[in-house]
Amino acid sequence: MKPLAERMRPRSLNDYIGQEHLVSQGAVLRQMIETGRITSFILWGPPGVGKTTLARIVAETLQVPFFTLSAVTSGVKEVREVIDKARNGRFFNSASPILFIDEIHRFSKSQQDSLLGAVENGTVTLIGATTENPSFEVIRPLLSRCQVYVLEPLSAEGLLRLMHHALQTDVVLAQRDIEVAETTALLRYSGGDARKLLGILELIETAQPEGKIVITDSLVTDSLQQSPVAYDKDGEQHYDIISAFIKSIRGSDPDAAIYWLARMIAGGEDPKFIARRLVISAAEDIGLANPNALLLANAAFDAVAKIGWPEGRIPLAEATIYLAASPKSNTAYLAVDNALDEVKKSGNQPVPLHLRNAPTKLMKELGYHDGYKYPHDFPGHYTTQQYLPDALRSQRFWLPADSPQERKLSDYIARCREQDARE
């Protein structure tokens, strides 16, 4: 018998749970499906949120040929073979066959290049699925020919709807006497992943082949502990482990951080995925408290890209320990978010005239650049001058933290502002 997750796979949008921003009435994907005008797109989101299901619903609704490729097992040869099948099997004026590529982020540049012509001339409509940011993993020419739709983890409400639907309609679960007494652990371990939720239900049902089943938090926890799931770089614990890794770095625990790093290495995780998270952590969590952290993380990323496994574990370990042992500051992260909030609130404030570029005579006549003071012409390479728009001239976005490195920076800014006050 098929696994529960496969038995419960929706066949139409009416049965689909979650992603209301894409599939509810009037939403973009539903409109595309209902009108039959499908363009190539990429679905980006964590595991178990319905990427593959959406692709299949599109194909079944439009009744067009549906070809699938896995980036893990397919090379350029397989891509070209599928494109030839799609081209030869298409009737005049019929809709383009759909080519669904799971884990498209794992395709090499040459594999992605082999898709370009078929996507551009309409031989196939490409639907890609990825758990990684397409901006990093999909080549620009292919990305420019596809819309990117972001899928979100299922909400607690969505997971509970799915659970009750499975208990009431599945050919196996509906025959059992199952009572749901508690759901906290079930929702926590599912983590927004529909496939994980159904896997837990199936595990519990299989472990108790007879009698009534009462689902409690302790039953869920005990069942998962007795049947531990190995690290799955394709999804199951992928996000849980990387979350623990980053939080251990943020919490200045190098031992925990190196342990979670080892878990990912042993599980065969993509080294560039780990390195990319280290770069983000260096900027977000260490920041101005130790600017060298970003340099070291970036160097680790470059080293890993050049040498790969197994030696890549060494620069990753070095960067991990250095970041975890570094002082922490998120003031740069908060500052840019504060500024973005202000931009959303106050809109496009005009640039002060003296800060504007004046490459033409007309611009100079209009006062562009007039009155600008070149700081290097003044003592200390500083002079009082307004840089923010008039409406925001007194705003402060960066609030320095109390770390030695940031104190140096904030002391310098304080001296400059004292000069402003005197002048």
pLDDT digits (tens, 9 = 90+) for 288-346: 889 999 999 999 999 988 887 788 899 999 999 999 999 898 888 888 888 888 888 88
Residue 315 confidence (pLDDT)? 93
> CA 167, CA 175: separation in Å to the nearest integer?
9
DSSP H helices, 325-360, are 331-346
- Distance between CA atoms of 34 and 303, rounded to whole angstroms? 48
- Highest-pLDDT range among 64-73, 105-114, 153-162: 153-162
Distance CA 284, CA 282 (A): 6
Give the chain's end-to-end CA distance (angstroms, integer): 81
- Residue of 123, 125, 143 lying closest to 133 (CA atoms): 143
Distance, in Å, from the CA atom of 181 to the CA atom of 178, rounded to the nearest integer, reads 10
Q: How far apart are CA 251 and CA 239, in angstroms?
A: 18
pLDDT score recorded for residue 228: 42
Closest CA to 127 of 141, 156, 106, 148: 148
What b/e string do you get for 18-52 counting C-beta neighbours within 10 Å, with b at 16 or more?
bbeebbeeeeebbebbeeeebebbbbbbbbbbbbb
pLDDT single digits (tens) 237-259: 667 788 889 999 998 888 989 98
Q: How many helices and strands in the chain, by DSSP H and E?
A: 20, 7
pLDDT at 237: 62
> What's the average model confidence in pLDDT over 72-80?
78
Checking if the pLDDT of 190 tops 60, the result is yes
Sequence-separated (6 or more) residues with CB below 8 Å from residue 225: none
DSSP 8-state assignment for residue 282: I
Structure token digits, residue 321: 């320990």
Q: Which residue has the tokens 């607690």?
A: 156
Q: What is the pLDDT of residues 2-15, one digit of tens each?
A: 889 899 998 888 88
pLDDT value of residue 227:
47
Closest by alpha carbon to 241, among 289, 166, 191, 306? Answer: 191
Taken as a whole, the chain contains a residue count of 423
Cα–Cα distance between 185 and 191 in angstroms, integer?
10
Burial of residue 269 (CB within 10 Å: 0-12, 13-18, 19+) is buried
Dig out the tokens for 230 from the structure: 């190995």
Instruction: Indicate if the pLDDT at residue 230 is higher than 60.
Output: no
Whole-number Å distance between alpha carbons of 405 and 29: 49
Look up the pTM and report it: 0.57
State how far the Cα of 126 lies from the Cα of 42, in Å rounded to an integer.
8
**Dihedral, CA of residue 124, residue 127, residue 129 and residue 135, to nearest 10:** 90
Picking from 88, 103, 3, 86, the residue whose alpha carbon sits closest to that of residue 51 is 103
Instruction: Show the 3-state SS of 140-156.
Output: HHHHCCCEEEECCCCCH
